[in-house]
Amino acid sequence: MKFTATQIASILNGKIVGDESVIIDKLSKIEEGTEGSISFLSNSKYTKHIYSTKASIVIVNEKFVLEKKINTTLIKVKDAYQAFTQLLAYYNKIKIDKKGIEEPTFVSKTAILGKNYYIGAFVYLGNNVEIGDNAKIFPHVFIGDNVTIGANTILFSGSKIYSETHIGKNCIIHANAVIGSDGFGFVPTENGDYQKIPQTGNVSIGNDVEIGAACTIDRATLGSTLIRDGVKLDNQIQIAHNVEIGENTVIAAQTGIAGSSKIGKNCIIGGQVGIAGHINIGNNVKVQAQSGIGKSLKDDSIVQGSPSFNYSDWNKSYVHFKNLPKTISTIEKRLNSIQNDQTENN
């Protein structure tokens, strides 16, 4: 895709300084800019690169003042970082702007399709599936019976959506995510083996949710596993049966959440966090990476460690732990000195 400086300035509501007709067809970092690329400058420590970059266009803040001549065209905007982010979003939207049905696919006769949808090759749509307007289903996606997918939602290649799942509007499901698989439910028998507990619930995902690649979200044993509006999940996250995640909570990669735990809204959970089952985590909670959560947390808690405890206390404890070898060595020297003094006195 090619764009002129004029087209980009129109998208960003910016002012051009330089060649309005210059054409770009790729993105780049300012220090790695090449002819035909567009970059941005918002951090002052990268200012030196604007005088040497080979990028054809650079987006800058409207207050930016040149100190010497440059060879690139500038587009001045109110906030260069925000404008470049806007441009990236526009670029991605254009890149995946596909419509229609590719072949081969299987679409059940009972499926209901909205307007302006895209269904890629080798997609399977089961009975009574409902696909909203402008939804995009990329190749090799499986969608089971009675699934509903809201308007403007995108399912990338290889994602698997089991039966009865509900996905809201404006969601993004990345490659190879599995949503609605059975929860890990087994009961021990008298013979020492395990009998499977049927998982008869579903998964319900709100609006504006993004789910990273290779995440797994299990269906509820009864009722629903709930992912509320605005939740953002990184790659490779495990969410067990009957878990509930509150609005606008963000969770980093490789976190595992055991069954029936409830997480509040506006929480931030770091990578590789383990959360035990049947506990409640309040609103606005922050959990540092690699923490183990074995008990419920109140609103506004900040915790770290395994088992986790108050973040401030953890930091203080870590200082002592880090200095422990030195402290022990000092104690040993003092004990030896005392013993030597006693030996001499005797």
Q: Quote the CA–CA distance of 310 and 136 in Å, as a whole number.
A: 44
Q: Quote the CA–CA distance of 168 and 181 in Å, as a whole number.
A: 18
Residue ending a domain, choose from 95, 130, 147: 95
In this structure, are 22 and 91 located in the same domain? yes
In this structure, are 224 and 271 located in the same domain? yes
**Residues forming a β-bridge with 275:** 257, 293
The pLDDT, as a whole number, for residue 14 is 95
43 by Cβ neighbours in 10 Å (0-12 / 13-18 / 19+) ranks as exposed
pLDDT tier, 346 (very low <50, low <70, confident <90, very high otherwise): low
Contacts of 261 (CB under 8 A, 6+ apart): 240, 243, 244, 275, 276, 277, 278, 279, 280, 281
Peptide bond into 198 cis (omega under 30): no
Which domain range does residue 329 map to? Answer: 314-345
Closest CA to 272 of 255, 286, 252, 288: 255
In this structure, are 139 and 73 located in the same domain? no
In this structure, are 165 and 195 located in the same domain? yes
β-pairing verdict for 3-4 and 23-24: antiparallel
Spell 156-192 as b/e; 16+ CB within 10 A means b.
Answer: bbbbbbbbbbbbbbbbbbbbbbbbbeebebeeeeeee
Q: Are 129 and 106 in contact (CB under 8 A)?
A: no
* Model confidence pLDDT, tens digit, residues 105-160: 999 999 999 999 999 999 999 999 999 999 999 999 999 999 999 999 999 999 99
Give the HSE-up count for residue 94: Cα atoms under 13 Å, Cβ half-sphere: 11
Q: Quote the CA–CA distance of 144 and 159 in Å, as a whole number.
A: 11
* Model confidence pLDDT, tens digit, residues 284-297: 999 999 999 999 99
Q: Are 275 and 252 in contact (CB under 8 A)?
A: no
* SS3 (DSSP) at 334: helix
Residue ending a domain, choose from 42, 74, 95: 95
Greater confidence, 65 or 333? Answer: 65
* Model confidence pLDDT, tens digit, residues 221-272: 999 999 999 999 999 999 999 999 999 999 999 999 999 999 999 999 999 9
The pLDDT, as a whole number, for residue 322 is 76
* Model confidence pLDDT, tens digit, residues 27-77: 999 999 999 999 999 998 999 999 999 999 999 999 999 999 998 999 999
In this structure, are 304 and 176 located in the same domain? yes
Q: What are the angstrom distances between the C-alpha of 203 and each of 82, 268, 299?
A: 34, 22, 26
What are phi and psi for residue 111, nearest 5 degrees?
-70, 145
The pLDDT, as a whole number, for residue 281 is 98
Contacts of 103 (CB under 8 A, 6+ apart): 121
Residue ending a domain, choose from 80, 95, 110: 95
Contacts of 74 (CB under 8 A, 6+ apart): 16, 17, 18, 57, 58, 59, 60, 64
In this structure, are 252 and 288 located in the same domain? yes
In this structure, are 13 and 111 located in the same domain? no
Whether pTM > 0.85 for this model: the answer is: no
Dihedral sign from CA coordinates of 34, 40, 46, 51 = positive
CATH number at residue 64: 3.40.1390.10
Whether the pLDDT of residue 96 is over 70: the answer is yes
Report the share of the chain in percent with pLDDT over 90: 83
In this structure, are 154 and 184 located in the same domain? yes
Give catalytic residues, as residue numbers.
241
Total number of domains constituting the chain:
3
Helix H or strand E encompassing 166 = strand 166-167
Give the HSE-up count for residue 68: Cα atoms under 13 Å, Cβ half-sphere: 6
The pLDDT, as a whole number, for residue 86 is 93
Whether the pLDDT of residue 24 is over 90: the answer is yes
Whether the pLDDT of residue 327 is over 90: the answer is no
Q: Are 238 and 214 in contact (CB under 8 A)?
A: no
In this structure, are 42 and 176 located in the same domain? no
Closest CA to 178 of 201, 156, 153: 156
In this structure, are 79 and 208 located in the same domain? no
The pLDDT, as a whole number, for residue 210 is 98
Q: Quote the CA–CA distance of 176 and 232 in Å, as a whole number.
A: 16
CATH number at residue 238: 2.160.10.10
Closest CA to 131 of 146, 149, 118, 110: 149
DSSP state of 197: P
Give the residue carrying structure tokens 């799942």. 165
In this structure, are 26 and 129 located in the same domain? no
In this structure, are 270 and 324 located in the same domain? no
* SS3 (DSSP) at 330: helix
